[in-house]
Structure formats: C-alpha cells, structure tokens
Structure 1
Amino acid sequence: MPELTGFAVIGCSKCRRIMSADLSHATKTCQCGHKLDLKKTKLLAVFASADDAAQEVMRMQERKNTGFTSAVKFERV
C-alpha cells in the first residue's frame, strides 16, 4: 500500500469529533485524549493542503451539528 501524503479528514472513534490530521505523522491525539493510529483509521477525505482540509472539516461539522432533520410530512386525507 503506498504511503499517503497531505492532510486527511478523520473522525475520532471514541467521541466522534471530526478533525484534520497530517499524514506525515503516525498518530493523531483527539481533544478527548484518544490516540488514533492513522494507518488503521478510516480517512474520510484527503487533501494536499491544510487549508483545504480545514474547510472540509468545517463543512462536515456544520452538516453534523445542524440539528434535527425532520422526515417528509404526509398530508392527512
């Protein structure tokens, strides 16, 4: 398997926080204290620059934290 370079968007398996990680490192420590092995962690997206990865993290967090999504409402007959 080829070595990946750049920056990845990952999710913490303990607290589900979305964050970016530099792929030149072997591990990433989440704010909750959980240490993630980047070779075993699912990479949600990979970017060449940290700025692009940060933009994707913000977009994913916004989508995740927007709250309740209602089901399609049916009209009563």
Structure 2
Amino acid sequence: MARTTCWPDRGCRDSQVAARRGSAAPHRALCFYEIYDDEAAHKAHGESAQFQAYGFGDAIPRLESRERVFYETLS
C-alpha cells in the first residue's frame, strides 16, 4: 500500500494513490484520491508548509499533466 499524506486532525478523512494498470515508471499514470471534511480543510492542506515544499516544490513540477476534479460524497 502506498504511503498517504492524510492528517485526520487537519480535516483529511482519506488519502490514496493509485496507478493506472499497464502504466510503467517513469511515465506511470497516477491518481491521487483525497477526502476532506470540507472545502476549508482542502484549502488549508494546499497552503500547508508540507504541500508547498513537496507538492509545488517537487512533485507537481515533474508532472507531464495535471487535472484536478472535485466531487461531493453521497450519503
């Protein structure tokens, strides 16, 4: 299982990383799936020092493309 970057005390309920079947490194297609308590928790995560350092400072610049899609959970 992949290491996640979810902090329940900061409003993150779940975080998973999945690779598309048949895609191989170094050009592996990945999906990051995260569930937050609310929009404010998601915004706080994006503004955190960790995300600024590892997301914008490392991971995001290495992406070939990036698409963000937001969903609401059904209950």
Larger Rg: 1
Q: TM-score, normalised by structure 1?
A: 0.26
Q: TM-score, normalised by structure 2?
A: 0.26
Structure possessing the higher relative contact order (Cα contacts under 8 Å, 6 or more residues apart) = 1
Between structures 1 and 2, the one with greater strand share:
1
Between structures 1 and 2, the one with greater helix share:
2
